[in-house]
Each structure stands twice: as structure tokens, then as C-alpha cells.
Amino acid sequence: MLRGGPCGAHWRPALALALLGLATTLGASPTSGQRWPVPYKRFSFRPKTDPYCQAKYTFCPTGSPIPVMKDNDIIEVLRLQAPIWEFKYGDLLGHFKLMHDAVGFRSTLTGKNYTIEWYELFQLGNCTFPHLRPDMSAPFWCNQGAACFFEGIDDKHWKENGTLSLVATISGNTFNKVAEWVKQDNETGIYYETWTVRASPGKGAQTWFESYDCSNFVLRTYKKLAEFGTEFKKIETNYTKIFLYSGEPIYLGNETSIFGPKGNKTLALAIKKFYGPFKPYLSTKDFLLNFLKIFDTVIIHREFYLFYNFEYWFLPMKPPFVKITYKETPLPTRHTTFTDL
């Protein structure tokens, strides 16, 4: 990504006026009547990826079609969890409870094992922050996530620094129904969302935006299994979440309304300045300088721009600003469903 302009304060008064103008245009409460959390947008099909977006690590290199199981097969459902990027850093990130989640299946009829996981096509950084391309007026996003199904379970990978445990048993018929749901879910839920945005860390605090990541996929899969009558074991299941904390978000608009010919130039500049320091760093000095810019914007000036459902939102940040948690989300009970994830 290209370096953004310096995060000086000279453009902030103009930005404040621009945001005030938006609030005035939209009414006293810019999100009056807004449903919280903002529902994750579903699509009718998965678009082709742009050639500009290149993955450092190939997505789903050993992927295979989901098999059709015999109705009378007994399938073990396995909870799989390990530190993210374990292949590169070992259990280092596990000490910070940064975990990746997946689901395993084991057929008792054939003895075959299968893994299904949901993750980014172009790595986490590309899904969280955009590229600032000199040939484009708007930030360019390489953000897609998808399910990957393949035969086999890497027992060592999951057991050594994480979890491989039985959570339920299902019939082959139930597996086939879940497989059909996975295909539909995968075609309509196409982009990754790193952040969960809440009003505060306190119990019962308002959630503004939900994440859409590997753990969310696992929770949706468990929910669907419960709807099909699956009974889960009573074991503790914890998940990693990355939180941002803010006051009520302000809706800003989409790419055309902000960056188009009739867009808001002050707001467009502010958004690009915000994302500039999040580019990959080339040296320790580069990292430190950009970190200071990010600290100044997010912590000192309490500003964050969120891209969600292909639209931009302004988050008036507040303490503790950012937090990583590793807490339990209980397994669902039979015939009981969660609220939409």
C-alpha cells in the first residue's frame, strides 16, 4: 500500500464540519431507526476476484467437494482450534489467545476424516485494511472470505497447541443437510469482517457491528446442527474476538457517494489519511512512525473509519478502544437457536 499523508490536525476542523453536515442532513440522530447490530449483508452470488488481489498463501490448496454420506452413517463432529498462523509462528500467538477455529467430521462407516474451515482468501491484513492505489480515487479492498472443505484432519496441528475434541454425533442424513446449508451460506456470505464493535466491555452493552470470521462460521454451523436436532456435549468452548469500543456510529455513505465525482472531498481525504498508516511496513522505523500515527488518530483523537457491507461508518472511539478477548460461547441446546450471527 502507499503511504498516506501526514496525520496532522489541520484537516480535522473541516472534517468535524463535514460530519456535522452529515448529521444535520440525516437528522438530529444520524442513525435514527437504525437496527443494531447492523445486519451482515448477504449477496446473490460470489463475484470473481480481482487479479490485483494476490494471496501470499494459496487459499484452500487441498480443497475437495463435500461428499454425500449414507443416511445411516454415524458422523462424529469435532471442535478444532489452534493458534493462528501456527505454521509460521508455532504456538506464539496462542499465548495471546489468538486462535483459529474449524469443524471436523469423522465417518464411522468409512473411517474417513474431513475438515471444514472459513477464512480469508487474501490473508487477514487485506480483509481488514484497504490498498491506496494511485490510479484510484477510493480505497481498494481485497476482501473475501470463504469455506474450505478437504479430506483429512491434521491431528498434530490441532492437538499440539490447541483443541481437538468431540462435541456431538450426527447421522449421515444430518451431515448432508448441513453440507447443503454450507454451500448456500458460502455463496451468499462473501466478505470477512475482523472487528466486533460495541459501546463498552460491560455485560449487556450495545453491539454496533458483529464480526464475520472463522469462529462466527463455526458458531453458525453449530447453530444449524442444533436446528437439525443435534444434541451437543456439555463442554466449554471459548473463542477469540477482537473488539473496538465506540459511541453510536455515524453512517457516512458508500464508495460512490464519498469518492465519486459528486462526493465529499473532505471526508474522502480523511478516510484515505486514516487508512494510510495501516500499510505493511518496510522497516522498524516505518512501523514505529505509522504506529504513532495510528495511536494519535484512534486513541488521542478517538477516530476510526469502519468499512462494513461495502459502506463507510465513523466510529467515535472511547476507552478501552481495542481489546482482544477469549471467552466462552456455550454450545447450543437441541431445538434452541441463537439470535442471528
Active site residues: 100, 214
How many whole angstroms from its chain centre is CA 271?
Answer: 20
| Residue 278, CA distances (Å) to 122, 229, 245, 293, 334 in order | 16, 45, 19, 9, 44
Is-contact 84 93, C-beta < 8 A? Answer: yes
What gap in Å lies between CA 227 and CA 177, rounded to an integer? Answer: 11
Helix (H, G, I), strand (E, B) or coil at 136: coil
- In this structure, the chain runs to a length of 341
Alpha carbons within 13 A on the beta-carbon side of 238: 13
Contacts of 214 (CB under 8 A, 6+ apart): 100, 101, 102, 117, 118, 119
CA end-to-end distance (rounded Å), the chain? 32
